[in-house]
Amino acid sequence: MFDVDIWQEILATIKKNKMRTFLTGFSVAWGIFMLMVLLGSGNGLSNGVSENFKNQAVNAMWIWTGETSMPYDGLKEGRPIQFHNDDHTLLKNMKGVGAVSGRFWMGNTNLTYQGEYGQYTVMSCHPDLLEVEQYEIIEGRFINEVDIRQRRKSVVIGKDIYDALFNDKDAIGEYLKINNIPFKVVGVYTEPGSTRNRTANVPVTTAQTVFNGSNRIHNFAITNEGKTLTETKAIQENIKNTFARKHRFDPKDDNAVGMFNMMEAYLETQKIFNAIEIFIWIIGVFTLIAGIIGVSNIMLIVVKERTKEIGIRKAIGASPRSVIGLVLLESIMITTIAGYIGLVLGTGIMEVINLFVEKSYEASAATNSGRGETLFRNPTVDIGVAAMSTLLLVISGTLAGYIPAKKAARIRPIEALRDE
């Protein structure tokens, strides 16, 4: 069946009806084109948002304190809860908890280096904060264990602070004054996906000593080892209950200790994008079906128009099988070629858009210390989807041609050849 002759037969028919073939093909090409553009856009949006999640580990969790809102264990409501260093140890040893950093927050502080000064946030932390916040160290190092143990006056500054105070000079090893107390700069960092790197990190022990914090800790940033949402939720629950026992508050009291679970937020967003993807596939496939019905429709007309020709062919010895092949292959050929054109154009236009997106991303990255801000990233369709679409096309071409081909095979030569 797949010899040169049958293709020549089909090409001859297509050549004879250029406009009709074009219009038929167009509906299929359009369907595939739309599917590719929609899928690409969906991917772009999804990638863009995932990018924005990069600034924190997806398994991150934040824990902060408040006041109790329920009476518990004979204690009145409205009692403030305070974390201390022992809570850090407690968390660190808890099952399912990975990195733990306690934080002691100092609010807006004056930072001075030689003649330059500015107001920035100073946070205190444990070395583990690097993992939780997914900071990128540009120069030097982050706060380490030695800083914590020896209460060293080390500071890791955000890129914005470096730019403002150091003016491209070498900052590592220089002394920076935080509220008139000199701290040695040990590193410069940026936060991926963030546009503001205006925080200076100092060791939590140093901060407690220097800024009169005794052993208090304001909040915790941790990572957990939960792989699924249920596991994370269980770990979260465990932490909550442990703190409730230790600090004597009702485990149901959400005001006493607040928690934010990144995984939950991340999965929530993922769910939305999964839904969007399903939605896009539905729209795309239905657009495609409309195209296929168009092809089927045209092929029916083609068969009707060619009734006489098919009759002649049968009279001179064409078998029903060869007639089916003729119609089916024409249908498959139109859908495949047209669909492929749509595929190439669709992915092509998404690549062009991607080029512009990358350019604008780079432009925004240039002004924001290497980190662009975007909601749309890499809006392209991967090769697997494209391959699947091609397969879909061949199948749909077969489906589109099947009914008309059957109809053609049933044509009786004497009826076709009867003179009007």
Partner 1 sequence: MITLNNIHKSYEMGSSKLHVLKGIDLTIDKGEFVSIMGSSGSGKSTLLNILGMLDNYDQGTYHLNGMHIVDMSEKKAAKLRNELVGFVFQSFNLISFKNAMENVALPLYYKGVKRRKRNMLAMEYLDKLGLKEWAHHMPNELSGGQKQRIAIARALISKPQVIFADEPTGALDTSTSYEVMEIMKEINNEGITVILVTHEHDIAAMTQKIIRLKDGQIDQIIRNGDLSEFRYKYSKELQTA
Residues found near partner 1 in the complex (CB under 8 A): 4-5, 12-13, 15-16, 308-309, 311-322, 409, 412-414, 417, 419
For partner 1, which is the closer residue by CB, 8 or 89?
8
User: How many angstroms separate the Cα of 307 from the Cα of each of 183, 303, 351?
Assistant: 92, 6, 45
For partner 1, which is the closer residue by CB, 13 or 242?
13
Distance CA 58, CA 54 (A): 8
For partner 1, which is the closer residue by CB, 19 or 414?
414
Nearest approach in angstroms of CB 329 to partner 1 is: 15
Residue type (1 letter), 341:
I
Distance CA 248, CA 241 (A): 10
Nearest approach in angstroms of CB 309 to partner 1 is: 5
Nearest approach in angstroms of CB 46 to partner 1 is: 50
For partner 1, which is the closer residue by CB, 125 or 409?
409
CB 156 within 8 A of CB 186: yes
Nearest approach in angstroms of CB 320 to partner 1 is: 5
Distance CA 409, CA 9 (A): 17
340 is written with which tokens? 């492929």
260 is written with which tokens? 């934010």
Pick the closest to residue 101 from 222, 257, 233, 244 (CA basis): 222
Distance CA 298, CA 292 (A): 10
Distance CA 155, CA 273 (A): 40
For partner 1, which is the closer residue by CB, 169 or 410?
410
Nearest approach in angstroms of CB 314 to partner 1 is: 6
**CA quadruple 278, 280, 281, 287: dihedral, nearest 10:** 150
For partner 1, which is the closer residue by CB, 1 or 181?
1
Nearest approach in angstroms of CB 403 to partner 1 is: 18
Distance CA 126, CA 143 (A): 7
Nearest approach in angstroms of CB 322 to partner 1 is: 7
Count other C-beta atoms under 10 Å from residue 108's C-beta: 10
Residue 221, strand partner residues: 62, 101
For partner 1, which is the closer residue by CB, 15 or 76?
15
Nearest approach in angstroms of CB 330 to partner 1 is: 13
Q: Tokens 């107390």 belong to which residue?
A: 181
Close Cβ partners of 302 (under 8 Å, ≥ 6 residues apart): 13, 17, 20, 327, 330, 404
199 burial class (0-12, 13-18, 19+ CB within 10 angstroms)? Answer: buried
Nearest approach in angstroms of CB 414 to partner 1 is: 5
For partner 1, which is the closer residue by CB, 245 or 410?
410
Q: What DSSP element (H or E) covers 223?
A: strand 219-224
For partner 1, which is the closer residue by CB, 277 or 309?
309
